[in-house]
Chain A
Amino acid sequence: MGVALTRAAQWTTASSGTGKLEITPVNESLLKEILEFVEQFSSRHPQEAKHVFKEPLQWTTSLEASDFKTEYDISGPTVKSHETDKDGHPMLQLTPPSISVHSFSQLSKIVQLATDKRLKEVRACLEANRDPVAKMLGPSFATVEGEDSSVLRLLEKVKEGDQAKETEIKVKLIILLQQLDTQLLMPFHPPPHSVYYEFTNGCRTPPWRQVHGEICYLVIKPCDTQPLHITCSTAGVFLNGGIRQEGEENSYDRTSDVYKDLVTLLKSKSPHFAENINKQVGFHVKQVAMLIVISCWLLLLSKTPGGVGGADDFSESSSESEEDEEQSERRTESNTDLPSEYWQIQKLVKYLKGGNQTATVIALCSMRDFNLAQETCQLAIRDVGGLEVLINLLDTEEIKCKIGSLKILKEISRNSQIRRAIADLGGLQTMVKILDSPDKDLKYLAAETIANVAKFRRARRTVRQHGGIKRLVELLDCVPDSAALTEEQEKDVEVARCGALALWSCSKSTRNKEAIRKAGGIPLLARLLKSPHENMLIPVVGTLQECASERSYRIAIQTEGMIEDLVKNLNCDNHELQMHCASAIFKCAEDKRTRDLVRQCEGLQPLVTLLSQADNKQLLAATTGAIWKCSISMENVAKFQDYKALETLVGLLTDQPEEVLVNVVGALGEGAQKPANRATIRKCGGIQPLVNLLTGTNQALLVNVTKAVGACATELENMTIIDRLDGVRLLWSLLKNQNPDVQASAAWAICPCIENAKDSGEMVRSFVGGLELIVNLLKSTNKEVLASVCAAIAKIAKDEENLAVITDHGVVPMLAKLTNTTDDKLRRHLAEAIARCCMWGSNRVLFGEAGAVAPLVRYLKSKDSSVHQATAQALFQLSKDPNNCITMHDNGVVKLLLGMMGSTDEVLQEAAAGCVANIRRLALANEKARYG
């Protein structure tokens, strides 16, 4: 309020000290604002209100001892508050006409008890204390026009780590005071020029910047770097040129990358922040202070239209863990400001306890008139013991009381704390029993409440253990598809719908999925899937897609003809339903038959159409997932080609959440198995964003990106672009990733790159330590990694110089060590690598000495014909060494090779013949030597 008082308030004399506030409309409204702020301060911020001011606020008051009541010591005309500081000095002291006050809590009280004299008191106080902030927090916080570094100063103080708690309160206090300042100043600025002004659309930027999507500007002062001038826009968050005043148009320009949210930006700009933000536990003081500053801005951001994505994400990640985790209870600490609802609800609960059926029903109906969606009311019911009574009512014979109670429980169980309390009180067991009731109202209400309560693991288990799953499945048994329903049938449908809702919640536990299946739920769900009503279809498809994580369900969805219905509902106009349908297809389309069915039911086109709903990220993630999995079948890829799906998918490679990107890239990777699509991806500008994604950290995404890049690299024109973007180096560095899936996928992608890059030998050599790195991966225990690395080594070894280097790194004994494998995929690529590596120095001999020959001969007995070709080539190379020929011969290679010489595979033919010829030649030479 300091700034507001000096800048906006209209004083009679310009000099500081004893000026008077003029009686003007501006001052009038200023005073009222301050009054309101002070009045509500102690109930809104009870902790901060207790903070003892550095210096008391003193003024000449018109209050008298008789105005003070309880909580004060009154002796004659003087008054002292009961509330004292830690040294025992009273927080308020009145010696008429002078009053001195030490805390906001006392200020709040004065304003309350001064009734009609309150404005006068506030005026007197402010006139006597021209800079109240300085008095409250100390002279270092005196208001200085133009520059405000007080928070920074405090942060420094916090860094010193002394009196952490107190300083934290001080930080909060100063933030609150600054917020008041902001609020007070708002009307006094000509709207478009003020950074503070909030437009009705929620933006705090001048209109000519709003057209660029800019929402607000922040200055954040991290403790380890320069102040950051930040622009929050609809496209993301970025640094600007340092906007201080209007007119400097170029200061609005972007000077950094665009980040998806504030946290990401801060992470990249402030190492200290990055280091600490990830330490979820053990907050230390510095961080708390930083977070306070940030959270106060996030608060501001959350008010922006549509939200700056990240702000929402951030707040969610801290409070949304309730889905599965047992959340510790957060309770308001002070009971001083209980809302009036609390007392009214307490009274009603009393009537519930002590009333007969008639009184109980009246009390229940009246309770429903409260806003049960509001947490205050929900917790009030719990805190006055209402939950126990409501749950007890469920155990009575009185149907009306049960219905009334369930109608309340159904609403308040949307609150996670209430859910837990209901479960703790045994409410689930009772509600499960009610499912057997002949009364349909009771049934559906109980099922709907169970649906709300069973949002956490323990509750879902309770439902199952008390036979709830079987009963809920029974509720599904109704006839939903006749057009005109009687009133009774309509109720049956409602019962089934709520049953499906409850099963949906329960189906998040694996054992419940099993229980639903065993109770015969699948055919009933399949029948309800024919319903024409969206509100029925959403929980039904929701359950199905949840359960589709289990193989038994995927088979059932395929065999019971549900794909057709899922596809049909892709065409509806309800996004949630479309999302669940796409998600179900996503999970089921791992299976080839299902993929074919989706195509045959003409489900591919609606999926492509749904790609246009790019704003709904959940829907987009499900849709792209379904497209990805469906693309595993080449027939589907051809269809997607017709529908120009790849063109759209390429457009989704930027500015999407990771769960979308994983699927988009997965789909592109599958699509790129077809040459025409590889060209399409290039022509739509897809190569660059794909290569950019190689720098990410999400492992599922990396697996897909490497695969897609690898597929694209098989096209020479694509390879030129990848090369230019230094994509091979990025792929190579992914070999260092911890995840074997990423390693393998990167190694596979490297193969076509080496094959197609210009001067690939030179390129590979330019990666410092790269060859050693890839050779060392031969120590991996993962078969896929080994196979992919062997394949890559086979490509690398084509370059003689590189072959020499990897030989130095010991590639020969390492490859030889792997030869005993029985894995055909590894055998094939291992044989390729051995064949190539034979080309250098004495490697042939070394392979023989390392015992690689005999196992290779056995490869010829493999059932996989692709192993034969590579093996024959390796043996041909090895047979150039006489000792190897002897080993081969001893292991019966000739007979096996003779068979292969008759193969239709010419490469195989030739290699087999060459090898046999070498053996034969050796034998002849031997004979010649022996017999002359």
Chain B
Amino acid sequence: MAEMSAMNRKLIQNLAETLSKQVKHFNKTEAECLIRLFNGLLGDQSDRRVGNGLDRGKFRNILHNTFGMTDDMIMDRVFRAFDKDNDSYVSVKEWIEGLSIFLRGTLDEKIKYCFDVYDLNGDGYISREEMFHMLKNSLIRQPTEEDPDEGIKDLVEITLKKMDHDHDSRLSYADFEKAVRDENLLLEAFGTCLPDAKSILAFEQHAFQDTLER
């Protein structure tokens, strides 16, 4: 058992070494901590082999419990953004890559990430329909109104007016990037898909300090 864990530790260290070189923002120790955390989270999935990674449900739990996200659709989209190879599992590498943006991403990286989250069909544009879909729960509906969607539609128009610089009724990456650079508040224009400062602090505390002490 001790041998196993020693071997395991060696493995983890090697992996951390490799990943800390491939992924920005984390040093070797931090990468190691995140691997341990990942393994800990996997622990319950005893029936699966390590390497498959976190499944959708597991990952959504983390987003909800640790990062305070609530919107189902956005959480699915965040999962898709983490799961780069599209195999429905977040692997340890994807985990660390995703977290590097989540926790310490530069504005550029975050713009790219958010755009990917919001581009629901992955065609490189955020269309009117996609916006409507993402914003549809953002307003309290007034039952008295003739068209309960009117407010949402209007909100979509407002957003387009503000962000669609080439006036083609959809947001290209260039549109999105320019709008966010002009006004950083628009980074998460279509829903919260990044953790707030408080959750980041709590998570890092938990991951980097508590894990080490264990």
> Which positions in A face B, CB cutoff 8 Å?
347-348, 350-351, 354-359, 361-366, 368-369, 399-400, 403-404, 438-439
Question: Is the CB–CB distance between A358 and B162 below 8 Å?
Answer: no
Output the least CB separation between A884 and chain B (Å): 92
Interfacial chain B residues near A363, Cβ < 8 Å: 155, 158
**Cα distance A347–B150 in the bound complex, in angstroms:** 12
Q: Is B192 an interface residue (CB 8 A)?
A: yes
B201 closest partner in A (C-beta): A438
Residue on B with the closest CB to A364? B185
> B6 within 8 Å of A by Cβ?
no
Question: CA–CA, A359 to B135, complex, Å?
Answer: 7
Contact A358 B158 (CB under 8 A): no
Is B29 located at the chain interface by the 8 A CB criterion? no
Q: Is the CB of A356 within 8 A of B138?
A: yes
Please give me the residue from chain A that is nearest to B157 by CB atom. A366
Q: Is B159 an interface residue (CB 8 A)?
A: yes
Contacts of A399 in B (CB 8 A): 196-197
Which residues of B from 162 to 199 have beta carbons under 8 Å from A?
162, 183, 185-186, 188-192, 196-197
- Per the 8 Å Cβ criterion, residues 109-152 of B in contact with A are 135, 137-140, 142, 151
Please name the 4 residue pairs, one residue from A and one from B, whose CB atoms are nearest each other, closest first: A359-B138, A354-B140, A366-B158, A358-B138
Instruction: Say whether B154 faces chain A, with CB atoms less than 8 Å apart.
Output: yes
Can you list 23 A-B contacts with CB-CB less than 8 angstroms, sorted by A residue number? A350-B151, A351-B151, A354-B140, A354-B151, A355-B138, A355-B140, A356-B137, A356-B139, A358-B188, A358-B191, A359-B138, A359-B139, A361-B185, A361-B189, A362-B135, A362-B155, A362-B158, A362-B159, A362-B186, A363-B155, A365-B162, A366-B161, A400-B185
Given A351-B151, A358-B190, A365 contacting B185 (CB threshold 8 A): yes
B139 A355 Cβ-Cβ under 8 A:
yes
* Across-interface contacts of B154 in A (CB, < 8 A): 347
Chain B residues positioned under 8 Å from A354 (CB to CB): 139-140, 142, 151
Say how far B157's CB is from chain A's closest CB, in angstroms.
10
Minimum CB–CB distance for B118 against chain A, Å: 11
> Which residues of chain B have C-beta atoms less than 8 A from A357's C-beta?
192
Provide the bound-state CA to CA distance between A920 and B190, in Å: 111
CB distance from A45 to the nearest CB of B (A): 35
Residue of A348, A358, A361, A366 with highest tally of chain B CB at under 10 A:
A358
User: In whole angstroms, how far apart are the Cα atoms of A356 and B134 in the complex?
Assistant: 12
Chain B residues positioned under 8 Å from A362 (CB to CB): 135, 155, 158-159, 162, 186, 189
> Which residues of the partner chain A approach B183 to less than 8 Å between Cβ atoms?
365, 368
Name A439's closest neighbour in chain B (CB-CB): B197
A366 adjacent to B139 (CB under 8 Å): no
- Do B192 and A438 have beta carbons less than 8 Å apart? no
B139 interface neighbour in A351, A361, A368, Cβ under 8 Å: A351
- Residues in chain B near residue A368, CB distance under 8 A: 183
In-complex Cβ contact of B186 among A347, A348, A350, A365 (8 A): A365
For chain B, the count of residues having a C-beta within 8 Å of the partner chain is: 23
Contact partners of B191 in chain A: CB under 8 A: 358
Q: What's the Cα separation between A351 and B161 when bound, in Å?
A: 16
CB within 8 Å for A404 and B162 given contacts A399-B196, A438-B197: no
In the assembled complex, which residues on chain A have CB atoms less than 8 Å from the CB atom of B185?
A: 361, 364-365, 400, 403-404
Do A400 and B139 have beta carbons less than 8 Å apart? no
Residues of B within 8 A of A365 (CB): 162, 183, 185-186
Q: How many angstroms from the CA of A403 to the CA of B189 in the assembled complex?
A: 14
B110 to chain A, nearest CB (A): 13
Taken together as a complex, chains A and B put the C-alpha atoms of A756 and B26 apart, in Å, by 90
Distance in angstroms between the alpha carbons of A351 and B183 in the assembled complex: 19
Q: Across the interface, which residues of A come within 8 angstroms of B189, CB to CB?
A: 358, 361-362
User: A366 to nearest B CB, angstroms?
Assistant: 5
B159 surroundings in chain A (CB, below 8 A) = 362
Choose among B155, B185, B197 the residue with the greatest number of A CB atoms under 10 Å from its CB.
B185
- Nearest-neighbour CB distance to chain B for A161, whole angstroms, equals 56
CB-CB under 8 A from B138, the residues of chain A are 355-356, 358-359
Does the CB pair A361–B188 fall under 8 Å?
A: yes
Nearest CB in chain B to that of A348: its residue: B158
Task: Please give me the residue from chain B that is nearest to A366 by CB atom.
Answer: B158
In the docked arrangement, what's the CA distance between A100 and B183, Å? 57
Distance, CA A348 to CA B154, complexed state (A): 10
A350, A361, A404 pick with most chain B CB within 10 angstroms: A361
The CA of A358 and the CA of B186, in the complex, are separated in Å by: 9
- Interface centre among B135, B151, B155, B191, by most chain A C-beta atoms within 10 angstroms, is B155
Instruction: For B158, list chain A residues within 8 Å (CB).
Output: 348, 362-363, 366
Tell me the complex Cα distance, A358–B137, Å. Answer: 10
B162: A residues at CB distance < 8 A:
362, 365-366, 369
CB distance from B71 to the nearest CB of A (A): 9
Q: How far is the CB of B204 from chain A (nearest CB, A)?
A: 14
Min CB gap A390→B, angstroms? 14
What is the bound-complex CA distance between A400 and B195, given in angstroms? 12
Bound Cα distance from A828 to B128, whole angstroms: 94
Q: Which residue of B lies closest to A398 (CB)?
A: B196
Q: How far is the CA of A355 from the CA of B155 in the complex (A)?
A: 10
Which of the residues B151, B192, B196, B197 comes within 8 Å of A358, measured between beta carbons? Answer: B192
In the complex, what's the smallest C-beta–C-beta distance from B34 to chain A, in angstroms? Answer: 24
Given contacts A355-B155, A358-B192, A403-B185, 17 further A-B contacts (CB under 8 A): A350-B151, A351-B139, A354-B140, A355-B139, A356-B137, A358-B188, A359-B135, A359-B139, A361-B188, A362-B186, A363-B155, A365-B162, A366-B158, A368-B183, A399-B196, A400-B185, A400-B188
Q: Complex Cα distance A368/B185, Å?
A: 12
Residues of chain A within 8 A of B196, CB atoms compared: 399
A737–chain B nearest beta-carbon distance, Å: 61
- Could you say which residues of chain A place their CB within 8 Å of the CB of B155? 351, 355, 359, 362-363
- B105 vs chain A, min Cβ distance (A): 15
How far, in whole Å, are A438 and B196 apart by their CA atoms in the complex?
Answer: 13
Smallest beta-carbon distance B3→chain A, Å: 46
Chain A residues, Cβ within 8 Å of B161: 366
A399 to B197, CA, bound (A): 9
How far is B190's CA from A356's CA once the two chains are assembled, in angstroms?
A: 11
Please give, as numbers and ranges, the residues of chain B lying within 8 Å of A364 by CB-CB distance.
185
- B195 CB to closest chain A CB (Å) equals 12
Bound Cα distance from A685 to B51, whole angstroms: 97
**Alpha-carbon separation in the docked complex, A365 to B180 (Å):** 11
Chain B contacts for A347, CB-based, 8 A? 154
Please measure, in the bound complex, the distance between the C-alpha atom of A369 and the C-alpha atom of B163, giving whole angstroms.
12
Docked complex Cα distance between A364 and B190 (Å)? 14
Which residue of chain B lies nearest to A354 when distances are taken between CB atoms in the complex?
B140
Centre residue among B135, B158, B189 by max chain A CB count within 10 A: B158
A-chain residues with CB within 8 Å of residue B142 when the two chains form the complex: 354
With both chains docked as a complex, state the minimum distance between the C-beta of B23 and any C-beta of chain A, in angstroms. 22
Q: Which of B66-124 contact A (CB under 8 A)?
A: none
B49 to chain A, nearest CB (A): 39
- Closest A residue, CB atoms, query B137: A356
**A438, B201: Cα distance in complex, Å:** 12
* Cβ–Cβ < 8 Å partners of B137 in chain A: 356
A354 to B150, CA, bound (A): 13
Give A363 to B191 CA distance when docked, in angstroms. Answer: 14
For B158, give the chain A residue with the smallest CB separation: A366
Q: In the complex, what's the smallest C-beta–C-beta distance from A363 to chain B, in angstroms?
A: 7
A270 CB to nearest B CB, Å? 57
Contacts of A400 in B (CB 8 A): 185, 188
Q: Which residue of A lies closest to B70 (CB)?
A: A356
- A350 to B151, alpha carbons, bound, how many Å? 9
Residue in chain B with minimal CB distance to A347 = B154
What residues of A have a CB within 8 angstroms of the CB of B139 in the complex? 351, 354-356, 359
Query: Which residues of chain B are within 8 angstroms of A348 by Cβ–Cβ distance?
Result: 158
A357 to B135, CA, bound (A): 11
Nearest CB of A to B150, in Å: 10
**A359: chain B residues within 8 A (beta carbon):** 135, 138-139, 155
The chain A residue with its CB closest to the CB of B142 is: A354
In the complex, what's the smallest C-beta–C-beta distance from B161 to chain A, in angstroms?
8
For the complex formed, measure the closest distance between the CB of A73 and the CB atoms of chain B, giving whole angstroms: 32
**A361 CB contacts on chain B under 8 angstroms:** 185-186, 188-189
Distance in angstroms between the alpha carbons of A351 and B139 in the assembled complex: 7
